[in-house]
Amino acid sequence: MTDKLKTAAHPGRTAAQRRVLNAIGTGNLSPLMANATREALLRDGLIVELPSRDEQFSGALRMTVRQFDMPIAVHMAWCSAMEAECEE
């Protein structure tokens, strides 16, 4: 199923946008993405920004991690598309 998710089609979306949608759809709330990818998905309502979380690494390094999710209607449509894709 993972291989299918990497290639699943999202009409009208770039490869980078598809990777981010697939990552968020499978539970990665902080996928790496370019600013343009993030802004396009936010603008089109396919993802929403969640509250950021603070992470601390090695005691001294602190960073704020931005998190994103799909609105429930988008996630349901994504799940249906993944099911259809995986059945082929």
In the chain, count of helices (H) and strands (E)?
A: 4, 2
**pLDDT tens digits for range 22-49:** 999 999 999 999 999 999 999 999 999 9
Provide the mean pLDDT of the chain.
Answer: 86
Q: Which domains does the chain have, with CATH numbers?
A: 2-87 (1.10.10)
Bridge partners of residue 54, in order along the sequence? 64
Question: pTM for the complete prediction?
Answer: 0.79
- CB 10 within 8 Å of CB 81: yes
Mean pLDDT lowest among 8-12, 27-31, 55-59, 62-66: 8-12
